[in-house]
Structure 1
């Protein structure tokens, strides 16, 4: 297992984790559940730490792939910049979650905490999704907006035409 593989294994945790937190907070807000809000804030705290680890493994992953065919420094830098912003945002949200849990320890959380958490987590989830998209483009040319996907699209009609010819021959 190399550095890029490690990065790929753990980079999904903050992306999917923020979506889990969104669901928990939506449930908590709808049900007025202080307990579920606490759960969501706890998950945010863990995700903040995990996102730092994911970010730190990115440099080693970059070293593993930067000289591979089809990988450009521009794509890596775009992903790296988005990753830094998303990591800082999730870290700030995690710090707020920890502060909120400490401030309201032993007491019922006000309902506004779930709504504020929903807003903040939605922003961070969007940042994480964008970062993941940019990271995916590094090695998946079929999802790039720069036209690399056109080669895949050009191959699809040929495959469809061959399929249609096979149907005609079968008739």
Structure 2
């Protein structure tokens, strides 16, 4: 198993875990149930750990695919930049989640405030996660790129917008 394969295995959980955790946390707040909130916090912590694994395998995956036809370094760089922001947001959400679990166990009065901070952080993190997922998908799935309809593949396998525009004008 190479880094690209490992990256594909681990990179989905930070996104899915954050979305699921957000829904579970909101449910826990509505139900006023600390066990449900702690479940969400646990998911956020696991998502942060998977983000760490995803970041660790990302460079190796980049090296394997950046020179493939229809890929290019710019789209990978864009994905990497957004992924770094997601990792930071997930690490922050993981730290907030650890505080939330501790405060819930101690029945601390600030536990409710931390759960609201976690919701706001999780909403922002979920937004960044969708951007990362989309940009990552665009690396190999050229059909979902914004320029998918205007980009054509030359016989050599490289993409050229100029060639595409010239061919469309003919």
Q: Comparing both structures, which one devotes a greater share of its residues to helix?
A: 1
**Residue in 2 that maps onto 1:138:** 139
* SS across alignment from 1:149: coil
2:87 maps to which residue? 87
- 1:133 positional shift: 0.6
Distance 1:33 1:99 in 2: 16
Aligned equivalents of 1:38, 1:54: Cα separation in 2 = 24
Give the aligned partner of residue 99 of structure 1: 99
Counterparts of 1:131 and 1:143 in 2: how far apart (Å)?
A: 14
Q: Matches of residues 105-124 of structure 1 in structure 2 within 5 Å? A: 105-107=105-107, 110-124=111-125
CA distances 1:71-93 after superposition (whole Å, capped 9, x unpaired): 11110100000000100111011
The residue number in structure 1 matching 2:155 is none
CA contact (8 A) 2:67 2:73 kept: no
Are 1:24 and 2:19 matched, yes or no? no
Quote the Cα distance in structure 2 between the aligned partners of 1:96 and 1:119: 11
Per the normalisation by structure 1, the TM-score is 0.81
The alpha carbon displacement at 1:111 in A equals 3.2
Q: Is the 8 A contact 1:28 1:114 kept in 2?
A: no
Partner of 2:149: 149
Runs of at least 5 residues in structure 1 that lack an aligned partner in the other structure? 153-171
Q: What is the DSSP-based 3-state SS (H/G/I as helix, E as strand, rest coil) of the residue aligned with 2:105?
A: coil
Partner of 1:39: 39
Question: How does the TM-score come out when normalised to structure 2?
Answer: 0.81
Determine which structure has more spread, i.e. the larger CA radius of gyration.
Answer: 1
The higher relative CO (CA closer than 8 Å, separation ≥ 6) is in 1
Does the 8 Å contact 2:86/2:128 carry over to 1? yes
**Given that residues 41 and 98 in structure 2 are in contact (C-alpha distance below 8 angstroms), is that contact kept between their aligned partners in structure 1?**
yes
Q: Which runs of 4+ in 1 moved over 4 A?
A: none
Answer whether contact 1:34 1:111 (CA < 8 A) is retained: no
Residue 126 (structure 2) aligns with: 125
For structure 2, list consecutive stretches of 5 or more residues without a partner in the other structure.
153-170
